[in-house]
Amino acid sequence: METPDHNPDILFDEDLYTIEWSDIENAEMDYENYLNDIESFFREDFEDAVPEEDIY
């Protein structure tokens, strides 16, 4: 299928979309923030949940 708006003159800059292994290996995880996000997610989910005895 042809794309009528395709412009072949536009160059694709591969470097903008490339992740190097060194970027991943040297990344420092913010574990405290990560754990807080997970805890908040489950707390909100638990608070919004319908108690099982109310289902029947």
Residue 41 falls inside a structural domain: yes
Whether the predicted pLDDT of 1 surpasses 60: no
- Give the span between the Cα atoms of 19 and 27, in whole angstroms: 12
2-56 per-position pLDDT tens digit = 666 766 777 777 777 788 888 888 777 788 888 999 999 999 888 887 776 666 6
Q: For residue 48, what are the domain limits? A: 14-55
Residue 51 falls inside a structural domain: yes
Residue 4 falls inside a structural domain: no
Q: What is the DSSP track for 2-50?
A: --TT--TTSPP-GGGG---HHHHHTPPP-HHHHHHHHHHHHHHHHHHSP
Q: How many domains would you assign to the chain?
A: 1
pLDDT given at position 4: 64
pLDDT given at position 46: 84
pLDDT given at position 55: 64
pLDDT given at position 36: 92
Residue 5 falls inside a structural domain: no
